[in-house]
Amino acid sequence: MLQTLSIKQFAIIDKLEIQFSDGLTVLSGETGSGKSIIIDAIGQLIGMRASSDYVRHGEKKAIIEGIFDIDESKDAISILEDLSIDIDEDFLLVKREIFSSGKSICRINNQIVTLQDLRKVMQELLDIHGQHETQSLLKQKYHLQLLDDYAENQYSDLLQQYKNIFNQYKDKRKELEDLESADQALLQRLDLMKFQFEELTEASLKEDEVEQLEVDIKRIQNSEKLSLALNNAHQVLTDENAIPDRLYELSNHLQSINDIVPEKYEKLKEDIDQFYYVLEDAKHDIYDEMANTEFDEQVLNELESRMNLLNNLKRKYGKDVPELIAYQSKLENEINKIENYEQSSSQLREEINQLYQEVIDIGKALSKERRRVARELRDHIVSEIQNLQMKDANLEISFKPLDEPNYEGIEFVEFLISPNKGEPLKSLNKIASGGELSRIMLALKSIFVKSRGQTAILFDEVDSGVSGQAAQKMAEKMRDIAQFIQVICISHLPQVASMSDHHLLISKASHDDRTTTQVKELLDDDRINEVARMISGASVTDLTRENAKEMIAQNHRD
């Protein structure tokens, strides 16, 4: 729900702040007073295209800010969380700055976002329907989505099953297309892959080989120094007064002490014995190691040659040895896939045919459920339209087979309308009468207002071209919609204004040779006078005031 709208230096608006409430709010005023400019400003908050023309003459930038209550908009909150935007007490601050250069900056809770992300969030909060716009409810491509929304999960499992099978079918088709694109360039690539595979295979790569080679090469290169160190270490452990012999002697002395003073040095003796055995093992290990320390130039050359080979392969392919092993495996798979093209393509075609049949079978079952729900929806829409003074109107939901199944199903769904008796059914967006179009759109809005999840809707003179009893019915329908979400409406109809919960008057004023737009909430007599003006035009009489007063009282009694 939109709570506060702040506009600065936007078109003819110098500075303006409007407080909005829930229920039905009507904005009225003389032609040219700036009502549509306010709508344009709100449009900037939901991501409509910016223009330098919006910046007030002589100013550097225009600023539009809106505070939205998002407590009941779970989808918007989920999107905000995905965008890592902090949410403070279920309120959202949306800001759009438009510069005289034509560029703009979008912010949500003071965090800069892209125009695309702004639209993604705001489409869950606010919908604007203008007098001359063909909104999503009237566009053919959205009719199937509307039908599925109306079904409220009656066939959601079947729809998901269809989408899963269709995705598998599409993936297999893509795989076959990729395979069939194996032209001369692919055959040349096959030669390169074979060469690389053979080169890596001949190298007999092992994951930890480089590390081991480094150890072995270092050992041979330092064989003389290693041999000397080993001899010295062995001598320390074996010559006269060697450490193990001294430890053995110390252990015996400690045993003698323990025989006289039990447990006095028992722990020390155990440690000494342990050291003794460790050194004895080390003595034998060093002796064995001494036998392997001879310098072997041939072995060193072989090891260095092997290391050079591995280093060359690493540089050539830009990969380390484990990555080269993985690449070798990938090459093998690719080579097999291309060489077995005929077998692979034949198998893929068989799988595609099986999946296609599953798509058709599940699609037919899904279509049967959709047609059942479509009959319910059709009756609901006709009832709503006829309630808006289109008693002879008829509507059908058309199902036409697609040449090829798509992600949504196997049929094209479209709402067809006949506004008057004797007229043929035709597409919603081909209805000639603006008044008829407005009433049909309003009927659809009233049905789908809950399922579409938005918390506010803005009508920009949607009641244009409507009068009399039809206008009264449209006003009642807007009031019904306002029971579920916030409705803001620019209207010239006294029926709509008298039905509203809140009435704002838009007017123009001149100050210092500049024109500005002003907004005033109308109460009591002021509201009666404005409704009277809407009834009779510029000339307001006592009679029209009485009519306005009675109209307001009557609508609020209802």
DSSP string, 515-531: EEEEEEE--HHHHHHHH
CB 111 within 8 A of CB 398: no
Going by pLDDT thresholds of 50, 70 and 90, the confidence category of residue 134 is: very low
Domain extent, residue 231, equals: 199-317
């639209």: which residue's tokens? 119
Residue 283 lies inside a defined structural domain of this protein: yes
Share of the chain above pLDDT 70, in %: 93
Closest CA to 411 of 143, 26, 82: 143
Residue 503 lies inside a defined structural domain of this protein: no
Write out pLDDT tens, residues 292-309: 766 567 877 888 888 888
Span 379-387, average pLDDT: 89
- Mean pLDDT value across the chain: 85
Q: How far is CA 10 from CA 50, 122, 414, 527, in A?
A: 11, 20, 40, 27
Residue 33 lies inside a defined structural domain of this protein: no
Q: Supply 230's token pair.
A: 């080993």
Predicted confidence at residue 184, as pLDDT, reads 56
| CA neighbours closer than 13 Å in the CB half-sphere of residue 512 | 1
Predicted confidence at residue 452, as pLDDT, reads 61
Write out pLDDT tens, residues 29-38: 888 788 888 9
Predicted confidence at residue 304, as pLDDT, reads 83
Residue 181 has pLDDT above 50, yes or no: yes
What is the length of the chain?
A: 558
Residue 396 has pLDDT above 70, yes or no: yes
Mapped onto helix, strand or coil, the DSSP state of residue 454 is: coil
Residue 157 lies inside a defined structural domain of this protein: no
Span 269-287, average pLDDT: 85
Mapped onto helix, strand or coil, the DSSP state of residue 67 is: strand
Residue 134 lies inside a defined structural domain of this protein: no
Q: Supply 336's token pair.
A: 């097999």
Span 421-432, average pLDDT: 78
Predicted confidence at residue 234, as pLDDT, reads 78
Residue 421 lies inside a defined structural domain of this protein: no
Mapped onto helix, strand or coil, the DSSP state of residue 4 is: strand
Residue 506 has pLDDT above 80, yes or no: yes
Q: How far is CA 459 from CA 408, 463, 477, in A?
A: 30, 8, 12
Closest CA to 51 of 90, 104, 87, 108: 104
CB 27 within 8 A of CB 56: no
**355/343 Cα distance (integer angstroms):** 18
Residue 261 lies inside a defined structural domain of this protein: yes
Predicted confidence at residue 192, as pLDDT, reads 86
How many domains are contained in the chain? 1
Write out pLDDT tens, residues 334-351: 888 777 776 777 888 999
Return the higher-pLDDT residue of 407 and 443.
407
Span 544-557, average pLDDT: 86
The secondary element (H helix, E strand) that includes residue 360 is: helix 341-386
| CA neighbours closer than 13 Å in the CB half-sphere of residue 50 | 24
500-513: burial string, b at 16+ Cβ within 10 Å, e else:
bebbbbbeeeeeee
Residue 171 has pLDDT above 90, yes or no: yes
Mapped onto helix, strand or coil, the DSSP state of residue 69 is: strand
Amino acid, single-letter form, for residue 436: E
Span 487-493, average pLDDT: 89
Residue 296 lies inside a defined structural domain of this protein: yes
**41/63 Cα distance (integer angstroms):** 9
Using a cut of 0.75, tell me whether the model's pTM lies above it. Answer: no
